[in-house]
Structure 1
């Protein structure tokens, strides 16, 4: 029989690092039943019968956020064999608040005090034995980042579970509260296990809405609670909170000795600079510029050139030996076996050219993912959320909205799903609508292709794509918050900033590989099928009244479809059927934009100097139209998978179509302005499209600066209703 160990702790306490260290590659990722909060579980290294469940990071078991509801429901209904409670040793008081609640569940608890290396480095002392005595549960010290003591902690948790260890004794509140809790606990029916009655009694005392129906079991419960509130001159929930912190303070005074209480830590000193009101944004801009410059323009480009020109090109040299590229090997094999022309064309011009054009950009993506993983693991991205909260709040969003956008840099689907944790319905809908404006991993090949082929590897192209997404989010927030649909104050944002620390190479590489492997799998499934479809529709068509393979791609079915829709994009500067088709196929998967160009422009063919034939693509665009195309594909409706995620999260067809429509219209309008006004400034051409662009800019400025009439009327209405 398997043993279940639940990992529980505050956000940024090192829980995920510990989970990765305990399970290694034996992980299974999914969603909790009925919700889209990510669920991770894995088998303990060396123990096939021990399952580690990674609960969402939470601050309490109160049902304020979806993560808290998920964690509480799991602990109450599933009842794991033991709880491994991870506590941040550098912030013991805040972390012990959750610990006191976990101990009330009647499940054996082992506390692991994490970051003990930092605690000792700071000169602080935690008396582990005294802490264990005061809490009544076993306590161990670990460093999840360095892997110190983690396997011993897991072994003790398993031992505790197998021995059917007793739950930690719960602490007692003040006499007034204890009297009410005893009455409630004694009145709870047999449907609740004895071990959980204390937890239910406390939650009923706090008037927990999620289990308020239980109050009918307890006679005169409201009278008892009101009596305690009157005696202590406070509301029930605040009474419990104050009692918990009083208890925690009594423990810490005897177990925790701080050195240099008034001295600023290294993290505090760094934060004085990176979160400074005036310096924070310029520093963030410089950091992201460096990330994209290295990923797309320098190191990433060298690696991608090797992949495109070598692996998916003519070949490369290895220790003096000439190694042929995949197209050369495949073509030689097909010729040797006498493969039919149509099948040879499918494999070479369809699969190798299409999928190869996408996979050629994997090195750049991996470099980008390494940077992002490092910034997340070291603690800087948590500061970015804090920085963006100050900005977003002015425009109607909270810093919580930046978390899904941060997740969306890897893939828009989990980014959209992460918006589920935002309590405010208006903020959640707006976040869903704007999250995919941030360039995800699938859009990086488009950015890299155009930066290299159209802008000569200019260093400003890739970072500008990121900040175009940020600008679209901010401007959307300003505009949408002035409508009745989204009017209202943004949700509060509370986030604990972790201490800066140097991430381990293993964790950074693991994060990079998980994101990269997800992209590669998509290339082997969705993109493969898409490129086969694109090859077929571009290589077959009607010529002289008969259907068959065509020599000129402009005679194919795809070209006919492209010419039928190209007029829509002509005002944006890219009215060729190839560009129109690429933009449409990008709706299936954004990587398809590059794959489509790979097929239509013959990226599988290699010139004598080993360079891809990008000249034909570059000849189809000007600098202005190329940037217009790039921005359109960054801001328009996302891929089908992300659209599906939007539909699941919106849970409403009208809202889904509104979100997709808003994204597409905004993308079209911005791209129109970029091309028309850019052409006017650069060439002096003033046409009807220029007039339309000027009108759009004026309208856009008006929507940005107009007063918040709807918001004010809504707030007045709410106040008037409250006053009545």
Structure 2
């Protein structure tokens, strides 16, 4: 018999770890119907008839965030056979708030008290039997990370799914229960619904989404309004506040005598946080960690490992064997060049930095798994607030370091429209996986400049901060920032299985993209490089002057001359990079012809090193990092903005911002670092700097007006 089990729970409760343990590799990632929010489903490793759905982490079933809407729509409409509510056992009181709501849906419910290994380590005592009895609910103690009691949890869920006697958690006072019962029995459209108690509570709270979904008569609306007004007068609070207060009172009553804390004083996590999240030390520690990550990836791995992988294996072994195979089969010269220079040269140059990319993914996965990255969001909330952004903005930006698309979509958790639109505009400034490839290339090419990597990383954060300072003082984006509340999980030893799986999934996505989209584009680039403007096929050298590719590049290269990379190859790489940022590297691979096995073909690193100096390279990478992102991210921006004018503004801002920042980097850098003479463009860069300083330090007239208005009202 097939059984569907939904995994619900607060963020950082260990839900995803449990899901991975239950499903292993038998899981599928897609999107929820109608929204681009990740949906994870999977089959139980020990029984394919048991399917799990990993719901987004939520604190309640109120429609405040997209995750909450997605979760409650799934539970209300799809109605799984059983819900496993994954609860952080180190913080039961807060986590049980969601459990009271899930119970009201009248779907069989099992509570998984997770992280019991930490509970035991802290010396805490939890009377789970008494809590289960008080809640009328099955409670199973587990540790997902230690793989403890997982089978018992699944058995309890299966047993519960077959249990027809579903008992709800009654968490309200008798007088409030009377009000809820009256609504349950008076509204015809919810009378026969299996979740009628939960629907009645939502109608009492004046939930607009439920009122629209379930048609009410004028008499029913009048009755509910009458009940709400009467209750608000009796409890001296608004309807939603009454429900929230009584839920927490109930949970406190249940847990009060059944949880005894064993650790007196600070826990190990608290002691670490006194240093790691310290007001003065937090940012320097974060900087040191990220510098260390890039040093290991670029120098330790990017040195010996990447040299062998890119130069010897992909640069010599693969091209030599392919060229030999093609020669033995007397393949036409043009096709040999297409395969060697086009496909192997383009795709190989992208895949050539896989060791560096994989190392970055691996190290960042460790930081995520141990709980450090959650602290970064908390730390940067303090920084972001000073510059007009909420810490909530950093979560999508952090997600965007993997891929800008989910980062942009992740802005849906930000309630404030102005904050959300601003975050959408700047979310792609951080180096995603594709941009990391460009960073890795230039960090390796510029010998001894591994530290350029973290400079570009923190440059992305600085670009976000500068944008916040500038945009928040405009009428379009003015307003208070969204409040930021985040659960900080306890530090724990990393799960190598989770880390390797996260690294594998990211690398797999990277390789698939290289073998499909990137390969297609590199073939097109090869043809453009080997067809003249008169339509003749000629196998050109890298300095060809009359190919279609060079013709296009030379027509546009004047645009980038002030930025320090005004040659046709850099121009073409930048323009093509608007399709996919990996193509910046792939284009150079094709143009340099590194895939050819013939003697005398230039090495990609040396080829690029000859075209850039330390300043122009910095300008080139910064421009490609913070300018208009790839087509997929642009599509996400358009979808999330939902308005042509807002979308147009985001595109214009990204282009102007990236161009002017790169202009200043190169024009000031060439004087300060390269000791070259100033030009008219240096003067223009000076004017641009003055404008930026004015926009950053000018008074916020809109804020002053609000303060004045509040003073007059007071």
TM range (shorter): over 0.9
Is 1:388 the counterpart of 2:377 in the alignment?
Answer: no
| Contact 2:190–2:199 (Cα < 8 Å) also in 1 | no
Q: How does 1:228-377 map to 2 (within 5 A)?
A: 228-260=231-263, 262-314=264-316, 325-377=317-369
Q: TM-score, normalised by structure 1?
A: 0.94
In the other structure, the counterpart of 1:188 is 187
Pairwise CA distance, 1:339: 0.3
632-641 vs 612-621, which deviates more?
A: 612-621
Is 1:222 the counterpart of 2:222 in the alignment?
Answer: no
Pairwise CA distance, 1:218: 5.3
Q: How does 1:605-620 map to 2 (within 5 A)?
A: 605=596, 612-620=603-611
| 1:110-159 Cα deviation digits (max 9, x unpaired) | 11100000001100111222121111111111001111111221232123
TM-aligned CA distance change 1:609 to 1:688, over 3 Å: closer
Is 1:116 the counterpart of 2:116 in the alignment?
Answer: yes
TM-aligned CA distance change 1:35 to 1:56, over 3 Å: same
Q: In structure 1, which of residues 660, 674, 681 is the aligned counterpart of residue 651 of structure 2?
A: 660
TM-aligned CA distance change 1:594 to 1:194, over 3 Å: closer
| Contact 1:90–1:115 (Cα < 8 Å) also in 2 | yes
Q: How many angstroms apart in 2 are the aligned matches of 1:691 and 1:508?
A: 50
Is 1:551 the counterpart of 2:550 in the alignment?
Answer: no
Q: How many angstroms apart in 2 are the aligned matches of 1:486 and 1:97?
A: 35
Q: How does 1:675-694 map to 2 (within 5 A)?
A: 675-681=666-672, 682-694=674-686
Q: How many angstroms apart in 2 are the aligned matches of 1:613 and 1:299?
A: 18
Q: How many angstroms apart in 2 are the aligned matches of 1:412 and 1:661?
A: 18
CA root-mean-square deviation: 2.0
| 1:676-701 Cα deviation digits (max 9, x unpaired) | 11112232411101100111111111
In the other structure, the counterpart of 1:495 is 486
Pairwise CA distance, 1:192: 4.4
Pairwise CA distance, 1:566: 0.5
In the other structure, the counterpart of 2:142 is 142
Is 1:594 the counterpart of 2:585 in the alignment?
Answer: yes
In the other structure, the counterpart of 2:6 is 6
Question: What secondary structure is seen at the aligned counterpart in 2 of 1:83?
Answer: strand
Question: What secondary structure is seen at the aligned counterpart in 2 of 1:548?
Answer: coil
Pairwise CA distance, 1:432: 1.0
Is 1:98 the counterpart of 2:101 in the alignment?
Answer: no
Pairwise CA distance, 1:719: 9.3
In the other structure, the counterpart of 2:702 is 710
Question: What secondary structure is seen at the aligned counterpart in 2 of 1:554?
Answer: coil
Q: How many angstroms apart in 1 are the aligned matches of 2:197 and 2:247?
A: 15
Unaligned regions of 5+ residues in structure 2, if any? none
Pairwise CA distance, 1:98: 0.4
| 1:7-61 Cα deviation digits (max 9, x unpaired) | 0100000000011111111111122112222111111113222220111101111
Q: How many angstroms apart in 2 are the aligned matches of 1:301 and 1:610?
A: 22
Question: What secondary structure is seen at the aligned counterpart in 2 of 1:59?
Answer: coil
Pairwise CA distance, 1:226: 1.9
| 1:645-701 Cα deviation digits (max 9, x unpaired) | 111111222222221221111111111111111112232411101100111111111
Aligned length: 707
143-152 vs 365-374, which deviates more?
A: 143-152
Unaligned regions of 5+ residues in structure 1, if any? 315-324
Q: How many angstroms apart in 1 are the aligned matches of 2:83 and 2:208?
A: 25
Is 1:424 the counterpart of 2:416 in the alignment?
Answer: yes
| 1:194-226 Cα deviation digits (max 9, x unpaired) | 531211122222222322455643552222222
TM-aligned CA distance change 1:606 to 1:444, over 3 Å: farther
TM-aligned CA distance change 1:172 to 1:669, over 3 Å: closer
Q: After TM superposition, which residue ranges in structure 1, 4 or more long, deviate above 4 angstroms?
A: 213-216, 605-611, 714-720
Pairwise CA distance, 1:611: 9.5
